[in-house]
Structure 1
Amino acid sequence: MLKITMFSKADSVKGQGVGSAYRELMGLLRTHWQDDFEIKVNRYGRSAISHYHTVNPLFYLSTFMPNRGRKIGYVHFLPETLEGSLKLPRPFQAIFNRYLISFYKRMDHIVVVNPTFIPKLEAYQIKRADVTYIPNFVSKREFYEMTKPKQLKLRQQYGYDRDKFMIIGTGQIQDRKGVPDFITLAKRNPDIQFVWAGGFSFGRITDGYQDLKKVVDNPPANLSFPGIVDRDKLVDYYNMADLFLLPSYNELFPMSVLEAFSCGTPVLLRDLDLYRAIIDGYYEAASDVDEMQHKIDQLRANPAGLQFLHDKAVLASQDYSEERLAKIWHDFYLQQAKEG
């Protein structure tokens, strides 16, 4: 039995995608490969593979310890992707950026969730041969499509109008996620119910905190901020919505999009190159807030267009299913163990 140690503090901050990706992978390994892999978490004993999910300083120090086996680093972000997320004093940001790259260079092998990150890692002198692309995924046990009557019942249960067109966004409330554009669209469309499920996971150091907090505390009548929603309740929000909108400016492989796909929710995203590399053809794209408005108007007036996006979401959820990724992770760990 292959011994794998996971190093993660991803659960220490609620409402972030890194934690969701970590929980999904742990669930996959325990469901599919419990007889093949012995999984431990944050233990410092002998291990064939040490898989680092977060970049905590103690984990960095552990990479210098003996018996760590093959060191695998999970790249969920790079220095440039943190812009618009956290507002740190420039000297501290520079120090953290150097630390982050140093952490990645301590790894024997890197896993990225988006192939567009491979050339960026190469620019930091990390060899392409030492990087593997493995996409994120979500479990159908947690995120699934409900019947129409159930969806309408949920709206009543949560206090939303059963008949209004409803748009949902999820994730941290921050500038990088495009939340200001989400707010703008809500103000432009008072007859549409807008809901953003998420919160200020990093508090006052969140970029744009002051301005966004004012709106969260006093939103327009048609804009709801339920806060950080427990993962087992997020499925309700995706099912209540007619459309999922993520106006984010910078992402890796957002778990929220996969969650929406898995629930059959039509998806509208900002037109980003990185999406084309991983989910091209499964979503509607818009370059800015005006085009988002145009696409929303089109979809509201065209139920067949919404149904088409629903069907695309279902196909996407099959491509990024737990079953398909289970074998990919199994083969990856076995190969890494051979190279250790």
Structure 2
Amino acid sequence: MNKKYTINMRSGASAVEGHGVLSAYYEMVNLVKELEDFEIHENSFGCADITHYHTVNPSYFLGIPWMKMKGKTVGYVHFLPETVDDSLHLPKLARKIFYRYLILFYKSMDRLVTVNPYFIEKLEAYGIEKDKITYIPNYVSSKEFYPLSSEEKKALRISYGLDPNRFTVVCAGQLQTRKGVIDFADLAGNLPKVQFVWAGGFSFGKITEGYTEISQLLQSHPENLFFPGILPREKMNDFYNLGDVMFLPSYGELFPMTILEAMCCGLPILLRDLDIYPKILFDFYLKAEDQTGFQQELLRLSQDPVYYSQAKEKSAKGHDFYNEAHVQTMWENFYKDLIREKVLDCHPGWLQALMPAKMK
């Protein structure tokens, strides 16, 4: 039997519901479990050939020196200080301490993985060597997210208390200022013939940026705007299929899982025109710079069948581009490179000769 190398996935993301880091963890782990040369463990206390940290828990940080004695360490970069700043309202001292800790955690890793190449330069600016950073995009399984028939969609809309025949705009994400939920609500007020639905909540409670203002919005909003709250992951495919278009007016992202999930469900994608998107989404989406542009795009999508079909085709190309085999191969090559580094670090000569040919 061929030797299998061990990977220990460390994540505390499940402690909080309704956020993209948790979704990314589920998808990524399920994807790499299919790699034949690796044995995947989750939150094991033992050492492994590779320890992959998906979250930056202090308890993990204390064990890093020991894990590096036995194998290689990988850190998954889901956020940077500037992205946290726009999401959570932390006291000044706590923010300063956390940001220093976050960068120290990243610097302590043998390798880092970011889901957007845009952040490679950002990490370099914090003193992290570019050679340590690898770009591997997010991935969503078509087994979990897929389009439903028109009749099934209508039935779903009725079950959610929506008009089954009304053009419907959906979005999913935490309720925070950075995500653009206020803009989403304003557009609902400007487009009364369209129904808007936002799935998500205050995953981090009262420290969420914009908590007070958004709490007031939940109590008083246009009649065509709906907030079903945080939905369990197994309900999210149904949620996307409520919509005719996925509209995310966020002011800052890395690589939203919600975009890939909506693409899997066959929805056109409308986003704010941000610098981070072209390197990962190319021409797979529609974009606008402000509320006027968003309103024009949504009206055209709802009224022009040809334009709507073209937008769907863009989204479908994005879904095809981020296919399972492509992203899985990227992870396989990345992990095999780490194993080679591990062998060379321990025994540059004779042990390298014993390495299985498929790992060379």
Report TM bin, short chain.
Answer: over 0.9
Q: Cα offset for 1:224?
A: 0.4
Deviations 1:40-97 (A, max 9, x none): 1222322110100000000111112254411101000000111221000111111111
1:184 corresponds to 2:186: yes
Partner residue, 1:11: 14
Partner residue, 2:135: 133
The 8 Å contact of residues 86 and 207 in structure 1, kept in 2 or not, is answered as yes
Deviations 1:137-192 (A, max 9, x none): 10001111111121112112222101111000110000000111001101111221
1:203 corresponds to 2:202: no
1:36 corresponds to 2:37: yes
Residue type matched to 2:14 in 1? D
2: CA distance, partners of 1:227 / 1:217: 13
Q: Give 1:261's match in structure 2, choosing from 263, 288, 298.
A: 263
- More displaced, 71-80 or 21-30? 21-30
Residue type matched to 1:137 in 2? Y
Aligned alpha-carbon RMSD (Å): 1.1
Partner residue, 2:273: 271
Q: Which runs of structure 2 are paired with 1:179-258 in the superposition (5 Å)?
A: 179-258=181-260
Unaligned runs of 5+ in 1: none
2: CA distance, partners of 1:94 / 1:218: 35
Q: Cα offset for 1:36?
A: 2.1
Q: Secondary structure of the residue that 1:194 maps to in structure 2?
A: strand
Partner residue, 2:96: 94
Q: Cα offset for 1:210?
A: 0.4
1:20 corresponds to 2:23: yes
Partner residue, 2:64: 63
Q: Which runs of structure 2 are paired with 1:161-172 in the superposition (5 Å)?
A: 161-172=163-174
% of aligned pairs identical? 46
Deviant stretches of 4+, over 4 Å: none
The 8 Å contact of residues 145 and 262 in structure 1, kept in 2 or not, is answered as yes
Q: Cα offset for 1:239?
A: 1.2
Residue type matched to 2:303 in 1? A
Partner residue, 2:287: 285
Partner residue, 1:156: 158
Deviations 1:220-274 (A, max 9, x none): 2111000001111111121121111000000000000000111110110000010
Deviations 1:69-126 (A, max 9, x none): 1110100000011122100011111111110000000000010000000011111111
The change in CA–CA distance for 1:335 and 1:235 in structure 2 (over 3 A counts) is same
Residue type matched to 1:14 in 2? E
Q: Secondary structure of the residue that 2:276 maps to in structure 1?
A: helix
Q: Which has the larger radius of gyration?
A: 2
The number of residue pairs the alignment matches comes to: 338
Residue type matched to 1:119 in 2? E
Q: Cα offset for 1:317?
A: 0.8
- More displaced, 233-242 or 39-48? 39-48
Q: Cα offset for 1:28?
A: 0.9
The 8 Å contact of residues 50 and 68 in structure 1, kept in 2 or not, is answered as no
Q: Secondary structure of the residue that 1:65 maps to in structure 2?
A: helix
Q: Secondary structure of the residue that 2:59 maps to in structure 1?
A: helix
